[in-house]
Amino acid sequence: MVNASVYSPRSRQINSQSITANESTPRKAVAGEAVSISHRGFTCFPLPLLAIRGSIVSLRANENNLTEFSFKLPPFRSLKKLTIRKNQIKSFGRLIENLSVSCPNLEDLSLEGNECWPRDESTQGLYREAAALMLKRLRYLNGVPTHRACRPSPKFNK
């Protein structure tokens, strides 16, 4: 059994729910959902999470054992914010390549504490530029704005 905290950004209330690895019928997903699977020791994403991926807007998966290969996933089209601090990610390029396919609408990515993230600030700027080139909607990387952060979000351009 995997415990995950699920909360609605609208109500800001946190409810504790259980997601089991052998769950045959996933629970009904709530639009605009935020999910945390942090501190669980995962090396890959649990199947019940993948079943509700279409409704997840924010995902926290900090302090697990995820690698860059853990992100070769079916698309999370609604995902805007991904926090994957302190995992086992070694290749920044491979991670960004995988995220460009699995998280095409990602706007905010936090990955500090992984081996792939440089400590030198000048190198961080280069990594930020490279990520913004591959992740077409990325606005923030580790809390620092990319060149897109100054522009309005696409939903405001209508």
Q: Which pTM was predicted? A: 0.78
Quote the CA–CA distance of 152 and 67 in Å, as a whole number.
32
pLDDT at 148: 75
- For residue 132, the domain's CATH number is 3.80.10.10
- Collapsing DSSP to helix, strand or coil, 2 comes out as strand
Q: What is the reported pLDDT for 30?
A: 60
pLDDT at 32: 74
Range of the domain at 147: 2-156
- pLDDT for 155 equals 57
Could you write out the three-class secondary structure of 47-79? HHHHHCHHHEEEEECCCCCCCHHHHCCCCCCCC
- Give average pLDDT by consecutive 10-residue segment, the chain, 158 residues: 43 35 44 89 95 95 98 97 98 98 98 96 93 97 86 54
Q: What is residue 145's predicted lDDT score, i.e. its pLDDT?
A: 94
Which of the 8 DSSP states describes residue 29?
A: P
Give the per-residue pLDDT at 147.
Answer: 85
Q: Distance between CA 39 and CA 86 in Å, rounded?
A: 10
Domain count for the chain: 1
Specify the residue for token string 């109500």: 11
Residue 102 confidence (pLDDT) = 98
CB–CB of 117/86 below 8 Å? Answer: no
